[in-house]
Amino acid sequence: MEHVREPFDEGRQGAVRTFRSTGISAGRTRQRLSWATWLAALMLLAACSSITVPPETTEVESAPTATPTTAVTPPTTAAPPVGTAPSTTAAPVTSVPVTEPATSTTVAAPQFTAPFTGLPTPTEILRPAAVVKIDNHPRALPQWGVNQADVVYEELVEARLTRFAAIFHSTNADVVGPVRSARTGDFALLSNLNRPIFVNSGANDYTARALRRVDAIAIIDGAAIAKGVFERSPEKNAPHNLVTDTARIYAAGAAEGRTPPKYFRFRAEGQPLPRGTSVSGVDVDYGQIKASYRWDAAAAGWARTQNGNDHTDFDGVRIAPENVIVQFVRYRQSPADAATPEPVLTGSGEAWIFSDGMLVRGTWERLSELDVTVFRSDNALIVPLTPGRTWISLARAGTAEIVP
């Protein structure tokens, strides 16, 4: 075995001496002993050269067992060479066929809803709303077409009687009436409907002039646009017998009208009325007209009674809208007639919302005449109505009473 000579330091005690490959120089006893020691070590290494050294293994800590048993030494597996990923047993690869979704040639029709009722319609209703003033005098009963109206407002007029402002849009009516005259309080009902058709039997001079400034198509009995729209029914006496129908109304004025906005928020089917309490109904006292509504579960509506009698239409069908709202408003004197009350429909106030046999006490708010009235519960959230018809009572404060 050849040894590499290292630098020799003569002046240093105990310097390491290098040995030549030819043997050992004679000399000191200590040098002979060192050579003998090295020779013995070389012989020992030669004897050990036949021992197989097990490959290096990586120790993995086993989880402790709850109850110790007889120790069994598990067989060790040699680690792979450095740089080689450890061998793992791969799960068999299963080929999963990918199924493409079936392509249907039938395209589902889009879902539209009527803006005043929230009910589904096969197509979008683009025609304007038609607002018809309908008589509610005792001699005008029973009326035509009131059950086909999407929304009906009941407002106080002279002699503590009431009249209806019926909004037709999603449903047609073969006969509508008795049609009566306009009032200045009607203008606020028209101004947020995006140029509706306004059907009435006439008005005094002041109201007629003011009506020309309202963004609506006025169809008034006697006017040129109303030719062929109205007729007198032999079933009643004048002035409680002027009638028309939605086909003639739209034929006369639809071209100049525009589509109305969404009017209410509605609940989905099966969705409960939030913050509602169960009640039987409500009574509203206008003076000569006393209107009552009672929840009729079988009809799923609020059955109306007027002056103690069931209120039915001309076909004998009971008036029972899905929703009733008592909107408490202030009345002021109309500028057209000192005897005519005029409801103030902008601002805010108290409101009772009746829907699905429940009552929600809340508020109404309308910032301007161009805005739609919003009805909120006591937590300031908009009250969602039951899809269907809605009757709104414009009542003075203190004239309505809840029936538990």
- What's the per-residue H, E or C state across the chain? CCCCCCCCCCCCCCCCCCCCCCCCCCCCHHHHHHHHHHHHHHHHHHHHCCCCCCCCCCCCCCCCCCCCCCCCCCCCCCCCCCCCCCCCCCCCCCCCCCCCCCCCCCCCCCCEECCCCCCEECCCCCCCCEEEEEECCHHHCCCECHHHCCEEEEEECHHHCEEEEEEECCCCCCCEECECCCCCCHHHHHCCCCCCEEEECCCCHHHHHHHCCCCCEEEECCCHHHCCCCEECCCCCCCCCEEECHHHHHHHHHHHCCCCCCCCCECCCCCCCCCCEECCEEEEECCCCEEEEEEECCCCEEEEEECCEECECCCCCECCCCEEEEEECEEEEECCEEEEEEEECCEEEEEEEEECCEEEEEEEEECCCCCCCEEEECCCCECCECCCCEEEEEECCCCEEEEC
The predicted pLDDT at position 106 comes to 53
**Identical fold between 113-256 and 277-403:** yes
The predicted pLDDT at position 25 comes to 41
The predicted pLDDT at position 314 comes to 98
**CATH 3.50.90.10 matches 113-256:** yes
| pTM (2 d.p.) | 0.73
The predicted pLDDT at position 37 comes to 45
The predicted pLDDT at position 222 comes to 85
The predicted pLDDT at position 100 comes to 46
The predicted pLDDT at position 346 comes to 97
The predicted pLDDT at position 385 comes to 98
Task: Domain ranges for the chain, please list them.
Answer: 113-256, 277-403
For the domain made up of 277-403, give the CATH fold: YerB-like fold (3.50.90)
The predicted pLDDT at position 109 comes to 54
The predicted pLDDT at position 89 comes to 42
**Mean pLDDT, each 10-residue run in order, the chain (404 residues):** 39 38 40 42 42 36 37 40 40 43 52 95 96 98 98 97 98 98 95 96 94 93 90 96 97 94 93 93 98 97 98 98 98 96 98 98 97 95 97 98 97
The predicted pLDDT at position 107 comes to 54
